[in-house]
Structure 1
């Protein structure tokens, strides 16, 4: 490269992955632009584990609620409560949470602009040219050495540069944010996350009611074409007694459930977050993995800048999958098998009543590692799981 660039790195998209990558790179002294179109809030239950709060220094005021239990609801209506012993799941509102992360990137030294990415152009012996439309609707151009595409599951950056990015499998998620008055009737609990494994609410995923302090998120996901997500939420609100609550806003978006096989183009582009497909199968959890991905992507791009070797970009996926690939594999198998029909969903919820399952589930979720400390518990779960798979366990 013989020409100077306006920035060393341009990050496209200011969600948790992009904002984290921009903050980390700027903190290392790199010239970074965070380009985000703004005005969009992703549909999300908003749950974050203690590991995220610790690792990314999330201040307490961003937590709009603390959930200390989950309730699993089977197709038959059977309820299994899973209390969290000695801990909690933090709940965040994505509008304030994401904005905090973008502001932190700016405080770390990143330049921040509002604009919508259009396309990138490779110049001979020169930096990469980014075309975007600014907040006033004017066409703009800017140059960079590296591009981080953190612009969601239908990433424009990915489609233009990474083979297979246009074919990433997705679940479409939709939720409604509703108001919660101080005095609530019915079964809603402001300290509990309710998860519905019922085929009429989602034929291949699940529905949820998550507390958010003065509001709640009622959502559903499904990859089945033609399935009415809005209709499912209408039914869920009616069944839970929340149909009389005021709707604050509604949001929908595709959610990827499988990491792409390649995140970089071998030259100047690296994907992060939903664009890279790092949403956990089965649970649909994305915030933690997006931020970890953003951190790994920032580290790889920083190495590429320091060494001049674009081959360093591939380290982001390699390191991420080494740390979390096994968890994604296990969760993918769970979703493929247990979410297939209501009979299996019923058995899945039944398994969640087991103390060993609850302990290992919460330990893995809270700490983001497969738990190895209790081999006897793993053995018991394996035997019980095989019983359910073979239909030998009582209903």
Structure 2
């Protein structure tokens, strides 16, 4: 075996990349973690109890604990869905991501702040990664950083939606769908009685988004207010301004603005059949309908890191494909169901009104939160599933009153 600088180079230090780097370095592999940092993606920051448990997330990272979700219809009908005997944690992505990167470094990964350039094979088949280190502004003004090349046995692309690693190495990497998300982090109105630091508000209104939803999520002293849409002509910034007015938040100071595409369909391939694979947003593992991505990104990273570990340990690259199969067997049905929900219920305000009406149903609320909190389709109480199916059908056919 030809000697290389690293066993793994992980491109991207978000939740998926940092998790993969941590798991692989904990197994004794030589890992280089590349991340440009300073560019958190627009994200509501919600993490379920399953993630907190599986990935040992300390309580101090939770800036809020949500115990209620308020669904708001086009006609301003409000439905509160309470979480019984539990909560959904909220994190600030800047602090959360950095915690995961530090943990990866403590397990042995080498961190490098850098911009990824390219990955390629030389004539002998050796895998090379080229990146440009990100240095301080003063130093960069004097002498721009020079590109660096390192060799690796395997490269893991965790560089987000529209991954450059995927574009260069993964077949059919353009076969996915995107929602473009935008949010504003604002100062929370802690002195206002209308503010509830334990409640997320979700707006299903065409003015906020023609095909997705808008959100107002509390983060302790701050809030995330944003929206998303696949309609490129729709003004996300204008819609967020409208949402802030509707929520009584127009006068609160804006701390930062962020926007990025979010994939809503897993890529058909996550590896090149040899020595390059993708995880997290780069693999397209964001839940349709809800847009939830942190848990799936980290679970994908853990599953594929184990697959990569086995691929190097056994010398069999087919382990990478088996990793994707394992992940999709566990979560693929959920993605399909949520995709169908988004297709049916988000098409127009008339359907969105019916969707919020359905959320009043106690069976819907209970089964939704049980599945969300535990990341498994709830199979208990089959009669509840039957009742929900019949009610959904009645609303679709216009037989139920809204």
How far does residue 124 in structure 1 lie from its aligned partner after superposition?
Answer: 3.0
Counterpart in the other structure of 1:376: 383
Superposition RMSD in Å: 0.9
How far does residue 312 in structure 1 lie from its aligned partner after superposition?
Answer: 1.2
Check the 8 A contact 1:72/1:197 in 2, yes or no: yes
1:347 aligns with 2:354: yes
How far does residue 219 in structure 1 lie from its aligned partner after superposition?
Answer: 0.8
Give the 3-state SS of the residue equivalent to 2:25 in structure 1: helix
Counterpart in the other structure of 1:184: 192
Give the 3-state SS of the residue equivalent to 1:369 in structure 2: coil
Match of 1:159 among 160, 164, 167: 167
Counterpart in the other structure of 1:5: 4
Counterpart in the other structure of 1:14: 13
Match of 1:221 among 216, 228, 231: 228
How far does residue 297 in structure 1 lie from its aligned partner after superposition?
Answer: 1.1
How far does residue 8 in structure 1 lie from its aligned partner after superposition?
Answer: 0.5
1:173 aligns with 2:189: no
TM-score of the superposition, structure 2-length normalised?
0.96
Counterpart in the other structure of 1:297: 304
2:115 & 2:318 partners in 1: Cα distance? 28
1:42 & 1:55 partners in 2: Cα distance? 23
How far does residue 376 in structure 1 lie from its aligned partner after superposition?
Answer: 1.1
2:66 & 2:352 partners in 1: Cα distance? 23
Check the 8 A contact 2:288/2:338 in 1, yes or no: yes
Match of 1:327 among 331, 334, 346: 334
Q: CA deviation digits over 1:91-121, x for unaligned, max 9?
A: 0000000000000100111111111111111
Check the 8 A contact 1:4/1:127 in 2, yes or no: no
How far does residue 165 in structure 1 lie from its aligned partner after superposition?
Answer: 1.4
Match of 1:206 among 203, 207, 213: 213
TM-score of the superposition, structure 1-length normalised?
0.98
1:57 aligns with 2:64: no
1:305 & 1:331 partners in 2: Cα distance? 35
Counterpart in the other structure of 1:124: 123
How far does residue 138 in structure 1 lie from its aligned partner after superposition?
Answer: 1.8
Check the 8 A contact 1:63/1:92 in 2, yes or no: yes
Alignment: residue pair count: 393
Moved more, 56-65 or 165-174: 165-174
2:34 & 2:209 partners in 1: Cα distance? 35
Check the 8 A contact 1:50/1:366 in 2, yes or no: yes
Change (3 A) 1:360 1:335: same
For residues 302-321 of structure 1, what are the structure 2 equivalents within 5 Å?
302-321=309-328
How far does residue 126 in structure 1 lie from its aligned partner after superposition?
Answer: 4.1
Counterpart in the other structure of 2:345: 338
Structure 1 residue ranges without an equivalent (≥5): none
Counterpart in the other structure of 1:272: 279
Q: CA deviation digits over 1:354-392, x for unaligned, max 9?
A: 000000000000000100111111111111111111111
1:142 aligns with 2:150: yes
Structure 2 residue ranges without an equivalent (≥5): 136-144
Give the 3-state SS of the residue equivalent to 1:40 in structure 2: coil
Check the 8 A contact 2:175/2:267 in 1, yes or no: no
